[in-house]
Structures are given as structure tokens and as C-alpha cells.
Structure 1
Amino acid sequence: MTLYIWRHPKPIAADGICLGQTDIAVDPRKLKRLANQIQGFARKHKLAKVIWVSTLQRSLKVGEILAQRGFEIRQSDKLSELDFGKWDGQAWPHIGKAKIDDWCNNFAEYNFETGESLTQLFVRVEEWLQLQVNQEKVVLAIGHAGWINAVKMLADHQPVPKLASDWAAPVDYNELSILEFH
């Protein structure tokens, strides 16, 4: 299977906050811009007009624009960003250095006070991937930075990182990643 996954557009007022599953809005022009990019890519490469999205509006709203243009939209909460629990939506300084240090010292298993661990994110991503690999040859999706990092590591057969320093920098907003799975 080939996975073409774009990161969602930059949300409004997301700078400086811990952004996981907080459902934050995106400028409608940015949503339309990414929808245009995906539609053009699908047309150029003669790909099926089917798009997978998370249930978070920064992904879902792009899918809804594409649905108005004849795409079939498929939603899954398995495509959602890491759940940072009580941290989600908080300003990083409000969370505090001590808690962030605790996370970095237990990077794979830290659960963010009612959220999910990075290991749990990897399990969720792998479950979604297994369904796609067995059913589809090509998949188009709109995802989130942490989710995309996890899927890239799985594509490279890398384990869940134990150290924060082993976690890649996020892909840019609207960036396309192309991954192969067998």
C-alpha cells in the first residue's frame, strides 16, 4: 500500500500551546488551499477520490470540502493526534518544566494525566494501518504531526522512541508524506 498523507493546515491561535486532540479551528482559506492541493494531486496521478480524515476539524473540514467536490470521505478517530489529556490546549509554560521533564524521562509510556502514551498512539496507528494494508493499494489521508511521525517510524520498522531526542521534528503544515507498506 502507498499512503499519501498531508498534514492539516495551521490552526488559528495554536502557537505556544500543547495541541493534541483539542479541536481548534483553521482559517477557511487555508482549508480550501489544502483541499485544492489534494484534489490537484489526485487528478494528476489519477487516484481514486477517497480521503481519510480524523474527526478533528483541522482534518475533517478539508475532507468536507473535498466531499463537496465528489470525494468519498472516510472518518476515523484512529487518525487523531496524540491525546495529551489534561495538558491538551494548555500553554506550555502553564504545564511546567517539571512535568515536561517527567515526560521526556519516560517518553514512550508517559500518559499525560488521562491522555494516552506514545506507545498507545503507535498501537492505534498500527491498527489503522493493518486495515488499510489488507484492503487498499493507495490511500489518501489528512493527518496530524504526531500521528505522521508515528506512521513514518512504523514504515521504517522503528520502535516507539524511548527518548524524546529520538522523536523527529514535525512535518510542516500542508506537507505531503509518501510512505510504502507491504
Structure 2
Amino acid sequence: MPAFTIWRHPRPRGAEGRCIGGRTDLPVDPRKAKRLAHRIRAHARRQALPREVVTSPLARAADVGRWLKRWGFVWQVDPALAEMDFGCWDGRPWRAIAAGEFDRWMNDFCGFDFDGGESLAALLTRAAAWTPRCALAVGHGGWITARHWQGGAVPTPSSWPPPPGYGRPTASAPSAA
């Protein structure tokens, strides 16, 4: 499989000020999902790619896949593309998470599992192990950032890059592993 392009889903409704991961399934404005689907369709046409797309099962990514399916794309859902699971933090307002909890995370940035969720180390492994089913995907900021992490060094809070913007494409090699 050649390189693939993954887009970050459109900005979800209700995410402002909250820790949003794989357990919190937020909707997106249907117009934004359709707009991103148009951009992906145009990219596929320009690059002469097969009309196939794989998305995370979360609505903020899957809604884009639904639009593409309406337009004749083969759409697959892959749970391995889901956003990081923030455990008991998922869905909570950031301001409601105690400073001591943040300290626990920062002191074990890669290993902290958010009390029952997924550690960054686990996300890095999951993202690196993912094998593209096709050349087009729609996923999440944390997953995309993990997929592009330049292995070797253990991520720290200061070295972890910001996620790509909503609706932005990122090209990737078939396997970062």
C-alpha cells in the first residue's frame, strides 16, 4: 500500500473546554462533514485514487464517511482509528480535573492511563501498528499526532506537538513502525 492521507475530522459540537477522547462521541455540523467530504472527494479525483475511505467509528469522523458513501465511495469503519481513550477524564470539563491529577499525568506522560483509559504509550503502539486499508482516512488529532511521532525519544509534555487543525489533511507512510 502506498502512502495514505488522513484528515482530522471537523470541529465537533460541544467540545469546548472539555477533555474529549474515544469515549465521548460528539456530533459535527452536517455542513462541515459534507464540506470535508467534498475536499476528500476532490483530493481522490486529483490523485486518481480509488473511491475508498476508512474512518474512526466516532461520529465526528464517521459522518464524513457517510457522505462519501452517498457519493459512491466504499466506506469502512476501523476502531483502531479511534481517538485516545481518556478514561474517567473523557468528556469532563478540563476545569473540573484537579491540579493533582494533571500532575500525575505530567509526571508519567507516556504511561498514565487516565484511571482506566489508554496511555500515550498504548496509543503510540496502536497508531504505529495500524495498516491502511486504502489511501484515504478520517481520524482524530491525538491518533494522527501519535502516528507521526518520530520514534526513538519518549514523548514529554514539552516535546509533544499540537494536533493538526480540524479538517486538515496529513500524508503518512503506510507504517510508522
Q: TM above 0.5, one fold?
A: yes
Structure 1 outlier segments of 4+, above 6 Å: none
RMSD: 1.4
Distance in 1 separating the partners of 2:4 and 2:96: 37
TM-score, normalised relative to structure 2: 0.93
SS, match of residue 14 in structure 1: coil
How far the C-alpha of 1:160 sits from its partner, in A, is 4.4
Residues 1:128 and 1:99: Cα distance change in structure 2 (over 3 Å): same
Structure 1 portions without partners, runs of 5+: none
2:21 aligned with 1:20: yes
Structure 2 portions without partners, runs of 5+: none
Q: Judging by fraction of residues, say which structure has more helix.
A: 1
How far the C-alpha of 1:151 sits from its partner, in A, is 0.7
Distance in 2 separating the partners of 1:144 and 1:160: 21
Percent identity reads 40
Q: 2:143 aligns with which of 141, 147, 151?
A: 147
How far the C-alpha of 1:124 sits from its partner, in A, is 1.4
Q: In the TM superposition, what whole-angstrom CA distance separates every residue of 1:67-119 from its partner, at most 9, and x where no partner exists?
A: 01111111111000000011000000111221112101101000001101011
Distance in 2 separating the partners of 1:166 and 1:10: 24
Distance in 2 separating the partners of 1:90 and 1:100: 13
Partner residue, 1:56: 58
Partner residue, 1:8: 9
2:114 aligned with 1:112: yes
Letter in 2 for 1:146: G
2:170 aligned with 1:169: no
Letter in 1 for 2:142: G
Residues 1:166 and 1:120: Cα distance change in structure 2 (over 3 Å): same
Letter in 1 for 2:160: W
